[in-house]
Amino acid sequence: MTFWNDPINFLSGWLSGILTAWGLPATLAMVLTIFIGIVLLVMFAMTLDIFLVWVERKVVARFQDRIGPNRIGPFGLVQPFADIIKLVIKEDITPDGADKVVFNLAPVMAAMAVILLWAILPISSKIYGVDLNVALLYLVAAGALGTMAIIMAGWASNNKYALLGMYRMVANVIAYEIPMVVILLIPTILADSMSVKSITEAQASTWYVFLSPLGLLIFMISAIAELGRSPFDLNEAESEIVAGFHIEYSGMKFGWFYASELLHAFTFGGFASVLFFGGWQVPFLLADGFHFGSLVVTLPGIVVVLVQALAFLLKALFGYWVIMWVKYSMPRIRIDQMLAFNWKFLTPLSLVLLSVTALLGQLQTVLLPWAFTLVMFVSNLLIIWITIEILRAYARRQRKQEERITAAAAQGAHQ
């Protein structure tokens, strides 16, 4: 095992070797090595988070035909650091009558719920936290902790806006969790596993976006709703309830809510790429280099790992960019529309998609891979077509009804 072929294992072996040489017991040295690895991974996530603040501000500026931060550092790149310094030195205000312990616990828990997701995010075939065999449910469980943090923040603030924002946010998050969980079942069925590593490896030949494009669409919609971003940002409708559940938070505590929202959005982009875009899979890239038919370009392991990591981060950034794109081009929807859209449209649709996928999934072992892909793709298109037809028929009926009502009203006015 050399550095060039397996860098992560090499480094961890080297580090624990040094620690044992210092006289630490072997298990303790291993735990310490893992601990350092985790700290590095989380630090990477946090650095990415700081970078995302800049990306978000720059992209929103471009969407709104502005330049965005451009004063501090090249292209305003140092701007987020200035933001952080500002947040840290700001006075931290706890409102009167707040439930102090719960109030202070909430931002930590919100950040923790997002950081925990990085434990299972497979950045490349060699760089990943842990290969958990229930990873997809773990994703949902971490989301549940985040919801609990929102409830704690909204309740402990002793503020009506915070409480109302919390109710809206929780209603939003829990409603859209149903289609999200149902869609998580689709890669589970196709890969016959809940582990993100196996799901990524199962997409070596075909990304699941070709097998289930409708699944990706529903996943992205419910991910945006889970994040509480526009068009589902009723929790912080400025004209109604100001900032929502974190209205009373200031300084770094507010900073954590903001940072965890951004990192959460990026992480969801990452999971979209794992579930539907093959995660770290790069076309033609195998463990030892590129294979174009008979032409083989051999690469050392470390280059392969880095290319995979780069591919994963780009795919995740693409998912994040789609979330931003939706956020900055859609108006906010009303709460009744939001709930009706979920319970009357998205949930039934995702259940239909799940049933069809489960039935057709039986063909996976019977058909050739390309035929199976074709069958799945066509079935998805058929479901989309039927849904649109049903919606059009419904809209036509609504329109006729409305015409009848306006006609009757016009007649009444004449008489």
330-369 residues in contact with another protein (CB under 8 A) are 335-336, 339-340, 343-344, 347-348, 351, 354-355, 358-359, 361-362, 365
| 263 is a contact residue toward another protein (CB under 8 A) | no
Residue ranges in 197-256 that form contacts with another protein under rule CB under 8 A? 242, 247-248, 251-253, 255-256
Peptide bond into 231 cis (omega under 30): yes
**Does residue 11 bind another protein (CB under 8 A)?**
no
- Please identify which residue in 61, 77, 181, 333 interacts with another protein, judged by CB under 8 A: 181
Which of the residues 73 through 102 are near another protein (CB under 8 A)?
84, 87-97, 99, 102
Residue selected from 48, 111, 234, 305 as contacting another protein according to rule CB under 8 A: 111
If binding is defined by CB under 8 A, does position 119 make contact with another protein? yes
Residue (of 118, 121, 128, 119) closest to 9 by Cα position:
128
User: Which residue, among 258, 278, 273, has the nearest Cα to 87 in the 3D structure?
Assistant: 258
Helix (H) or strand (E) segment spanning residue 4: none
Q: 91-127 burial by CB neighbour count: b if 16+ within 10 A, else e?
A: eeebeeebeeeebbbbbebbbbbbbbbbbbbbbbbbb
Beta bridge partners of 285: 290
Q: Does 136 bind another protein (CB under 8 A)?
A: yes
> Left if phi > 0, otherwise alpha if psi is -120 to 50, otherwise beta: which for 68?
left
Q: How far is the CB of 1 from another protein (least distance, A)?
A: 20
Token couple for 14: 């080297």
| For another protein, the closer CB: 235 or 304 | 235
**Nearest distance from residue 149's CB to another protein, in Å?**
11
Binding-site member from 2, 9, 47, 133 for another protein (CB under 8 A): 133
Residue 164 within binding range of another protein, rule CB under 8 A: yes
CA distances from 156 to 110, 146, 249, 396 (A): 14, 15, 11, 48
Segment interacting with another protein (CB under 8 A) among 65-73, 128-136, 205-213, 262-270: 128-136
Cα–Cα distance, 80 to 49 (Å, whole number) = 10
Q: Which is nearer to another protein, 182 or 285 (CB)?
A: 182
Q: Which of residues 272-331 bind another protein (CB under 8 A)?
A: none
Contact between 31 and another protein per CB under 8 A: yes
> What is the spatial distance between Cα 226 and Cα 219, in angstroms, rounded to a whole number?
10
Size of the site for another protein (CB under 8 A): 97
